[in-house]
Structure 1
Amino acid sequence: MRFNFRTLAGALAIGGTAFASAPAFAEGEVNIYSYRQPDLIKPLLEAFTSETGVKTNVIFASKGLGERIATEGESSPADVLLTVDIGRLDGAKQLGITQPVVSDVVESNVPAEFRDPEGHWIGLTNRARIVYASRDRVDQDSITYEELADPKWKGRICTRSGQHVYTIGLIASMVAHHGEEKTEEWLSAVRNNLARKPAGNDRAQVQAIFAGECDIALGNTYYMGLMQTNEKEPAQKEWAESVRILFPNSEGRGSHVNLAGIVMIKGAPNPDNALKLIEFLSSDGAQKIYAETNHEYPVKPGVEVSERVQSWGEIKKDPLPLADIARHRKAASTIVDKVGFDDGPAS
């Protein structure tokens, strides 16, 4: 017997938000587990239902969805999992909860570097791991990730935990480009340039620049959009105004980009509708909605970014396949602990 989706939605609402539009498993529905907040994906799902007639049932939680699906096993009501970061996408594959997606539409819409080679995950939007720089205290208009180790930045860098998936993705990309030994040397030097122990989320780093605690910080591009449009907390608009975005390595390999993406769950009760959703999310119209709503970059070539994202400047993306970067995540995590990155700058 399968889980009742409505009952499970109520259980998962603890620590998150849940909503469901109709009883599960009826013809013409798809069940979605999502790490992406309901407000962010609602416009997409409304457009999907309008175009296809397929109803969507959604569970949102901030953590633990992949593990829950693994625990539910064959009884899981989930058709797809929406998530962020190559770590979580590849992590779902490693949990054994995914199945390959075979679709000419997806292969045509999503470049190979943003898909699992075996089809177990598909990227939907990009975000770049960039540098926020103080408008008042940083004059230069370009930077590289390698430069963050330069002693000129001593006491001037803020960032979130080295073990956060966003940071691990960047460090894994450095391992992919430079090897483990050189990346360890680099990260040790970056640690010594920190203004404080890593703490807080990406927006907190911009707040720290605004407060004068540091001059540059690592963060994802879309947080700039979230801060610039935050009507509930207008102070964040001031934080955003105090910084500008520098796209690292623009004159070289390009900036590290990560993904928001989707997987189809092994044993999905509605596989045909799951495939319809995945193909829809890779289409021109959905890519435009997704990117504009979340201030991200479409993965489908030719789909324009929003005016706001354009205003941040032109991005050159590191072409290294995300699957290659994912293979170095374990090494990246080990290096973070080895150099004591989260302990902050050496005395």
Structure 2
Amino acid sequence: MKKMLSASALVLGVMGAGVANAAEEVNVYSYRQPFLIEPMLNEFTKETGIKVNVKFAKKGMAEKVEQEGEYSPADVLLTVDISRLMELVNKDLVQSVDSETIEENVPSQYRDSDDRWFALTTRSRAVYSSRDRVGKLGEDFDYMDLAKPEFKGKICTRSGKHPYNVSLVSAIIANHGEAEAKEWLEGVKANLARKPQGNDRGQVKAISEGLCDVSLGNSYYLGKMLADKEQQAWADSVYLNYPGQNADGTHVNISGMAMAKYAPNKENAQKLMEFLTSDKAQQMYAEVNFEEPVKPGVARSELVASWGEYTADELPLETIAENHAKAVKLLDEVKFDL
């Protein structure tokens, strides 16, 4: 009988170990491109033994998670832009994460007050200027200056409705109020060299071709263009400027993460989220994508640091995001993209 019990215990032990090993995984839904996050995920697996399963998508994450409901395999959701994170929150697709580690690593300005989302990197909404025709913009330059007559016919930008620009308009509403934000949008529209189109890199290409002199664009695109043989000439034709240094500061957006509401591997999900805010992962983020680490004390890449120091807008992104609907409304009212 004792031998039978011992044998049974051994079998159960082996089965238990198998179940435990099978459970050592975490499922990630990501808008971030594979080459941007796989180095960090591979390092996490190396350190913890937890396998990371990733589904990449260009769009429709919220819709997919919502459709899957309580049967969704998603544990961690990785995305870019505060508006996309708020979409997950507003659709009740995420849950709070109580982690002292994450709270220590991510400044309160860049995380949800109810711990439903957290930033991983920051990216400034910069202004690019032609080296030949404009030069470096002064320290007093502010976003509001783009509405001045001196920029008539000189500005290029992607659609005002793109999340990056909606977030900038939301920040201007938060800092200056709706009336002034609308007046600013009308002024910028009057100063456009062409109808809003393309992406951030396309605006720098337009500057290099002489179609316009200044453009709005995320800072990390300069690094991407410098690393691309075909686009290096575009990057060499511009200066990168950080607006608002003597005003509200430069508008900063984020890439971020959240834990899915029905995460089946909750413990492993939290471990991954904590790892992604660690010094090692933050440094890897900085080197791979020319973004800036959200964790204080982690150095920017040498290239990004060469673009200069700047002061970011101190408004919490949560506050800025509250103005998203107002920003879209104003963009419609001034017919910005038409």
Task: Tell me if both proteins adopt one fold, taking TM over 0.5 as the criterion.
Answer: yes
Give the corresponding residue for 1:276: 271
Shift of 1:252: 2.5
Which of 153, 170, 181 in structure 1 is aligned with 2:179? 181
The whole-number CA distance in structure 2 between the counterparts of 1:169 and 1:153 is: 22
SS of the equivalent of 1:133 reads strand
SS of the equivalent of 2:247 reads coil
Correspondence list, 1:83-94, <5 A: 83-94=79-90
The whole-number CA distance in structure 1 between the counterparts of 2:226 and 2:254 is: 22
Which of 82, 105, 109 in structure 1 is aligned with 2:105? 109
SS of the equivalent of 1:50 reads helix
Give the corresponding residue for 1:134: 130
SS of the equivalent of 2:44 reads helix
Correspondence list, 1:1-347, <5 A: 26-142=22-138, 143-230=141-228, 234-343=229-338
Question: What letter matches 1:112 in structure 2?
Answer: S
- Render the CA deviation track for 1:137-178: whole Å, top value 9, x for unaligned: 113432210100001000000000000000000000000001
Question: What letter matches 1:258 in structure 2?
Answer: N
Shift of 1:66: 1.2
Aligned residues: 316
Question: What letter matches 2:129 in structure 1?
Answer: A
- Render the CA deviation track for 1:281-316: whole Å, top value 9, x for unaligned: 011111110111110111111000000101111121
Question: What letter matches 2:61 in structure 1?
Answer: L
The whole-number CA distance in structure 1 between the counterparts of 2:133 and 2:110 is: 36
Give the corresponding residue for 1:21: none
SS of the equivalent of 1:26 reads helix
SS of the equivalent of 2:250 reads coil
- Render the CA deviation track for 1:53-108: whole Å, top value 9, x for unaligned: 11100000100011100110001010011000000011110111000011000110
The whole-number CA distance in structure 2 between the counterparts of 1:35 and 1:95 is: 18
The whole-number CA distance in structure 1 between the counterparts of 2:277 and 2:307 is: 24
SS of the equivalent of 1:255 reads coil
The whole-number CA distance in structure 2 between the counterparts of 1:72 and 1:262 is: 19
SS of the equivalent of 2:245 reads coil
Give the corresponding residue for 2:10: none
Shift of 1:212: 0.4
- Tell whether the 8 Å contact from 2:135 to 2:239 is kept in structure 1 after alignment: no
**Cα RMSD (Å):** 0.9
SS of the equivalent of 2:258 reads strand
The whole-number CA distance in structure 1 between the counterparts of 2:182 and 2:132 is: 31
Question: What letter matches 1:329 in structure 2?
Answer: H
The whole-number CA distance in structure 2 between the counterparts of 1:218 and 1:145 is: 9
Structure 2 spans left out of the alignment, 5+ residues = 1-20
- Render the CA deviation track for 1:32-63: whole Å, top value 9, x for unaligned: 00000001111111111111111100000100
Structure number with bigger Rg: 2
The whole-number CA distance in structure 2 between the counterparts of 1:273 and 1:62 is: 25
SS of the equivalent of 1:341 reads coil
Identity of aligned residues (%): 53
SS of the equivalent of 1:342 reads coil
- Tell whether the 8 Å contact from 2:129 to 2:137 is kept in structure 1 after alignment: no
The whole-number CA distance in structure 1 between the counterparts of 2:310 and 2:231 is: 24
The whole-number CA distance in structure 2 between the counterparts of 1:139 and 1:166 is: 25
Shift of 1:28: 1.0
The whole-number CA distance in structure 2 between the counterparts of 1:298 and 1:251 is: 24
